[in-house]
Chain A
């Protein structure tokens, strides 16, 4: 039972990164129709930025959390304005290739500047160590990450369901063309939504910095799992992205505990099963015949 709770917590904390990032991926895909391959690199950039802020300016985790998120939002806005925007009218494949290219550039820039070895990052003050509850011993930081990412997902959920902006984003995520035909200027929301999605990836990166190896390549495996998350949840489904994010986190944690090397395989077995039973994903809308 103790082990079970520990793995669950570990799964929820990893799932938190996946859920936050997949949420960003989902709104970007929904509103822009862009599959952002650079999402993993943006997650990596968020983590690297946190370590750099600490090394150069002495800014710790609690300052990095809002600051890096904001910086990544600006980065996303620039990326959309300067690059992604110009290809929006073409086949979606072009933006997929563009963001793949951006990934390669970002990874190599980080390698060039900071090398390939992992950058150390401390667990923030106040969240070190473990909480002992009798036989149960839980990592404070994992507990924090789990709760925090659930709260951020809830906040984003409230934003999406309780505000007019959220209503427009949901409608455009479901069908951007139809929203335009109903008088919604979807184009106005494209830049902020892209920035928002990238900011969420950056936020996940900062959260990951204290207990994942921070290096230029940390995003490459991440993006593969992230695509599995999006497929499981259903492409374009916001709720699906969040639920599948935590689900995959749990599968990974229990996989590592009981099946060790097969933990990654399990994620894709899950994906295959979901696609077999529900081709559009758990929360995806089935295409009309």
Chain B
């Protein structure tokens, strides 16, 4: 219905800033309620994390923002427009970039094809040259099947893919999971670089230490509710307590 309406924000909306605002969002799987009354906001150039145990509803929240999880109530707006029933592809074209927890690399596409599959949705998107300059390994392996890359390289590819689209909001689902410390550090650098370009980042993370090195603010999610909202200083001073709370 409103598939087209959300596709391209107007210039004024762009100028007013690409803000993600989630208000009183609830989500269900069948009868089971997995998110209850979640409200949060992410400003351009801001990195915000969702911290919580497995099953707290973090991934469902990202999927709801992307339009992949449809059984929701409440509102999600992006760049001043309510997304309503907009399809996932309309949301992607409006500048929301998804980096799923399994990285979502296509085995049947080469590295280069994985990069160029999505449409470019913004004028200031990274060019393929820029991507290859930032990630030389992707250039080296451009003709390899996407899934022949190592876990860390696949994570880079998944992030590079949405940067080449020119997404203005990145939904990153556990980018550090299962990766070596060096790679995690590199991912942190990339996130800071994205942030410097004014892109908004909503990061799902269980690695509290990593979260505190990249994020401005944090939301604690437990049993589908936001139980606390902290700035990074408060978050860092309570790391031990939070780790215990998360059972890690």
Contact = CB atoms under 8 A, between A and B. Distances in A.
Interface of A: 167-168, 170-171, 173-175, 177-187, 238, 285, 288
Given A183-B92, A184-B117, 10 more contacts: A170-B106, A171-B106, A174-B106, A174-B108, A178-B106, A181-B66, A182-B104, A182-B162, A184-B119, A185-B89
A167 B92 contact: no
Interface in B6-50: none
A7 to B, nearest CB: 33
A30 to B, nearest CB: 10
Most chain B beta-carbon contacts within 10 A, residue among A175, A179, A180, A288: A180
B99 to A, nearest CB: 10
Nearest to A183: B92
Interface string B87-108: 1110111000010101010111
Given A180-B89, A183-B93, A185-B89, A174 B117 contact: no
Q: What 5 A-B pairs have minimum CB-CB distances, sorted nearest first?
A: A183-B92, A180-B88, A182-B118, A181-B98, A181-B88
Given A168-B117, A178-B100, A181-B66, A186 B106 contact: no
8 contacts: A171-B108, A171-B109, A174-B108, A177-B68, A180-B89, A182-B118, A183-B89, A184-B117
B118 A184 contact: yes
Contacts of A178: 100, 104, 106
A174 B109 CA distance: 9
Nearest to B113: A167
Contacts of A173: 108
A181 B87 CA distance: 9
Nearest to B63: A181
Nearest to A160: B108
Contacts of B121: 183
Given A183-B118, A184-B118, A177 B108 contact: no
A186 B117 contact: no
B153 to A, nearest CB: 18
B104 A175 contact: yes
Contacts of A285: 107
A180 B89 CA distance: 5
Nearest to A30: B108
A171 B89 contact: no
A171 B68 contact: no
A38 to B, nearest CB: 26
Nearest to A173: B108
Contacts of B98: 181-182
Nearest to B95: A183
Given A167-B113, A177-B88, A183 B106 contact: no
Contacts of A186: 89
B161 interface: yes
B165 interface: yes
B4 to A, nearest CB: 11
A238 B119 CA distance: 24
Interface in B110-142: 113, 116-119, 121
A68 B13 CA distance: 52
Contacts of A171: 106, 108-109, 117
